[in-house]
Structure 1
Amino acid sequence: MELGFLKPLFARPGPWASVYIETTRATEDAAKIQKLRERSIAAQLIDAGADGYTTRAVMERLAHEPVAGTPPGRALFAAGAEVVLDVPLTLPPPVGEATWSMLPHVAPLATLRGDSPTCMVAYIDRAGADLELREGNRRTTLDEARGSEWQGRGHRGVPTDRYEWHYRNRVENGWNETADLIAAELARQWPESGAELLVLAGDARERRAVHNRLPERVQDVTVEAEGGGRSAGAGTAALDTEIRQACEAYAQDRLRRTLERFHRGRGKPGEHRESSVDTGPGEAAEGIPAVVDAARKHQVATLLLTPEAADGGRQVWIGPGVDEVAVQRGEARALGVPRPEQARADDALLRAAAAADCEVLVVPEGMQGPAGGLGAVLRWSM
């Protein structure tokens, strides 16, 4: 999970109301059920000590939930009588939950928002390409890449004379120029897009020509899709399925490789290592003390969480600074925090990870993750 969208939450002080609520409306009595869910959320906030203004802001936002097109669930984060962030969820929360705490309770987002990579899609033909960014259920249209004047349309027969040959040669050169332009535009937009995966859709010959012209760093995260096209009547169902499968494969491979690095890196110093991969013993942290120390030093590259992590709910001590986190109160004071506050370990570590632009991955049940549910792959050796 990419954490940049959480930064507005950590730029202002708490306490925070954090709400997770199911919003599906698949039954006839959905409106009645939703009202009961909202009442439960209000009661939880009041019992937790939330102020009336912030509670009212949350309830007003929930009351305006649209009937059509609702996501399976929503997460709301409010402070100072204002809903600061409203996040659609990929999965519905198991139960409606509302908390009132010094830090926003963001840890459930790692599981409920899903781990699908941000994906850039290029719909390619001989005239150019339409570019789109997909982030979960949200789609954003990007700039169009326009091709050469001599891109040509359709297929023509064998040249009958040198003029026909000359025309077809210009068309072919025009298409090569178009492929160059599309590849250059993709390479230009890639670093700023935040995308992790590139999908090329359209005619096989055309997308292959663009693929071959991409920089190597982009080619490594590029896949070609059989479905889809740029024309108005092109179907999207098959393409959507291909993109979903490509995103799932990318996420699974990323998690597998990260766990391999984690298990190698948590070995004892001096331990023999058969792998030629650079990550070695000492380049991973496991358990609250080690991960907190690494987060404070901005050493975490990837934070690993397991669902319902046993260590996630343990209390640590924090200050207003995003990297002011310690296991003991005295340790926090030694860092210069005059009035340390308690917070959940997972929320405090996610705050530090967001500030340091770290990656966060959820280790599902059945895979061997860090003991206690919290671990990290480090940027450099301990």
Structure 2
Amino acid sequence: MRLSFLEPLYQQPGPFASVYLDTSRDAAVDDPDAAIELRRRHLRDALTAEGADRDSITAVADTVGGDTDVPGTHGQAVFTAHGHLALADELPAPPARDTAHFGTLPDTMPLIVQHAPGIPYLAVYVHYTGRHATDAVGTVRIDAEAGTWPLTRVTPGHRLHEQIPVTDWLNAAAEVGRELEGHARRIDVETVVVAGDVWARGILVRRLPVSLRGQTVTVAGVDASQPGRALLEGQLDDLFRGRMAARDRALLGAFLAARAHGGTAAEGLAAAVSALQRGRVRALFLNNHPESPLRLWIGPEPGQLALTEDELRAYGIREVSEERADAALARALVGTGAELVVVPERELRLREGVGVLLRYGEPASGA
């Protein structure tokens, strides 16, 4: 996963107030606005206790809960600095618990993890309820959405809509397929998910361009998603749950191969820090442990991180502070252009929850 979406945040000076909260508006909550207001007050108190300045707290309060146009279950991440909103992003799922942090670095890892697995996809729903014959009276309707899972849960992707007489469907399906191929190429999709009437969607699937057929999966069920949510959200959740994006899996394969041959891969926090200090990391692999007590020392620049304060000061860095290890790693990854791969522990348990694949041919220390 590339983290370029965080670059504007790290270009601003800290300290930062970082807030995560549940802003769901669904049938399970009687008065969601009242619930969000209560959470807002608790988070304000937590930021005050952590020493946040009044202006930053006010900026958080002015932003939290402002996502009234996002329906259903979701959350919100808000980052402010010096009284200004630095970044606000919708979370595809509510955080496990509401949190507030004030410190030198923004607490971005929970947001990053919610962007995973980051699978580019094309969802297609074929509406038709008439007689299964090309001389029938009626219309085939096609809704399609190109997006990245799971972000399209709360940030819908580009949609297209077509209506075609059933009498024209055999010929028109090929044209629709070419149009879908154009949308797929724009985001380099790895999966095309097709649902809807079995007869009508079967004609479409058989007429899709060859480039899409090998990526196409048909699923059962109707589109029960709400307006403003991902097309075929329920089916996509079933299909993609626990899955890694193809690019991430390829990077993981390269890491395992390099590790097996004593090459450009290493595990453990010390090895990761050493490689990030030198800007050598191609990809960092992480078992998500939000409760981890590991901490690092940092300086003002992304590559200025170390296991101890003395090590940083030995480099002549004067402004140092101790931060959560995942926050320091996230800043270093963004600053050096490295990728992050969130690895489920059932796939691979990493030493101290972290591993690195280097950019160049030199073996990694700690391999």
| TM-score, length-scaled by structure 1 | 0.71
Aligned counterpart for 1:47 among listed residues 45, 49, 52: 49
Cα 1:38–1:133 shift into 2, 3 Å: same
Retained in 2: the 8 A contact 1:118–1:136? no
1:303 aligns with 2:284: yes
- Secondary structure in structure 2 of the residue aligned to 1:224: strand
Retained in 2: the 8 A contact 1:288–1:311? no
Q: Percent identity?
A: 26
Q: Whole-Å Cα distance in 2 between the matches of residues 31 and 187 of structure 1?
A: 38
Retained in 2: the 8 A contact 1:2–1:359? yes
Q: Whole-Å Cα distance in 2 between the matches of residues 262 and 17 of structure 1?
A: 35
Match in the other structure for 1:61: 63
TM-superposed deviation, 1:45: 0.8
Cα 1:145–1:210 shift into 2, 3 Å: farther
Cα 1:55–1:143 shift into 2, 3 Å: same
Q: Whole-Å Cα distance in 1 between the matches of residues 244 and 218 of structure 2?
A: 17
Mean Cα deviation higher: 332-341 or 4-13: 332-341
1:140 aligns with 2:137: no
Map Cα deviations across residues 284-335 of structure 1 (whole Å, 9 max, x no partner): 2211221122223443333222232676631222323x33333344544566
Match in the other structure for 1:14: 14
Aligned counterpart for 2:83 among listed residues 81, 84, 90: 81
Q: Whole-Å Cα distance in 2 between the matches of residues 297 and 122 of structure 1?
A: 45
- Secondary structure in structure 2 of the residue aligned to 1:246: helix
Aligned counterpart for 1:207 among listed residues 186, 190, 205: 205
- Secondary structure in structure 2 of the residue aligned to 1:118: strand
Match in the other structure for 2:326: 346
Q: Note the 1:1-382 alignment, pairs <5 A.
A: 1-24=1-24, 26-28=28-30, 30-62=32-64, 64=66, 66=68, 69=71, 71-121=73-123, 132-134=146-148, 135-137=151-153, 138-141=155-158, 154=167, 178=175, 181-182=178-179, 185-186=182-183, 188-191=185-188, 195-199=189-193, 203-212=201-210, 214=211, 222-226=215-219, 235-237=222-224, 239-248=232-241, 250-251=243-244, 261-267=254-260, 280-308=261-289, 313-320=294-301, 322-329=302-309, 331-332=311-312, 337-364=317-344, 366-381=346-361, 382=363
The residue type paired with residue 283 of structure 2 is T
Cα 1:301–1:18 shift into 2, 3 Å: same
Cα 1:313–1:196 shift into 2, 3 Å: farther
Cα 1:7–1:152 shift into 2, 3 Å: same
Cα 1:378–1:199 shift into 2, 3 Å: farther
Mean Cα deviation higher: 81-90 or 8-17: 81-90
Cα 1:253–1:184 shift into 2, 3 Å: closer
For structure 2, list consecutive stretches of 5 or more residues without a partner in the other structure.
Answer: 128-139, 226-231
- Secondary structure in structure 2 of the residue aligned to 1:77: strand
The residue type paired with residue 206 of structure 1 is L
Map Cα deviations across residues 53-97 of structure 1 (whole Å, 9 max, x no partner): 010111122264539725432211111211221222233333321
Cα 1:179–1:113 shift into 2, 3 Å: closer
TM-superposed deviation, 1:50: 0.8
Retained in 1: the 8 A contact 2:281–2:338? yes
TM-superposed deviation, 1:113: 4.9
Q: Whole-Å Cα distance in 2 between the matches of residues 189 and 124 of structure 1?
A: 22
Match in the other structure for 1:270: none
TM-superposed deviation, 1:219: 6.7
Q: Whole-Å Cα distance in 1 between the matches of residues 321 and 360 of structure 2?
A: 30
Q: Whole-Å Cα distance in 1 between the matches of residues 176 and 168 of structure 2?
A: 18
- Secondary structure in structure 1 of the residue aligned to 2:7: helix
- Pair member with larger Rg: 1
Q: Whole-Å Cα distance in 2 between the matches of residues 128 and 367 of structure 1?
A: 37
- Secondary structure in structure 2 of the residue aligned to 1:210: coil
Cα 1:31–1:175 shift into 2, 3 Å: closer
Map Cα deviations across residues 153-210 of structure 1 (whole Å, 9 max, x no partner): 5279xxxxxxxxxxxxxx96x876x37843762465235xxx5544456633433432
Retained in 2: the 8 A contact 1:305–1:375? yes
Q: Whole-Å Cα distance in 2 between the matches of residues 59 and 127 of structure 1?
A: 44
Q: Whole-Å Cα distance in 2 between the matches of residues 19 and 62 of structure 1?
A: 9
TM-superposed deviation, 1:52: 0.5
Retained in 2: the 8 A contact 1:324–1:335? no
| TM-score, length-scaled by structure 2 | 0.73
- Between the two proteins, the alignment pairs up a number of residues equal to 335
Cα 1:371–1:291 shift into 2, 3 Å: same
For structure 1, list consecutive stretches of 5 or more residues without a partner in the other structure.
Answer: 157-170, 229-234, 268-279
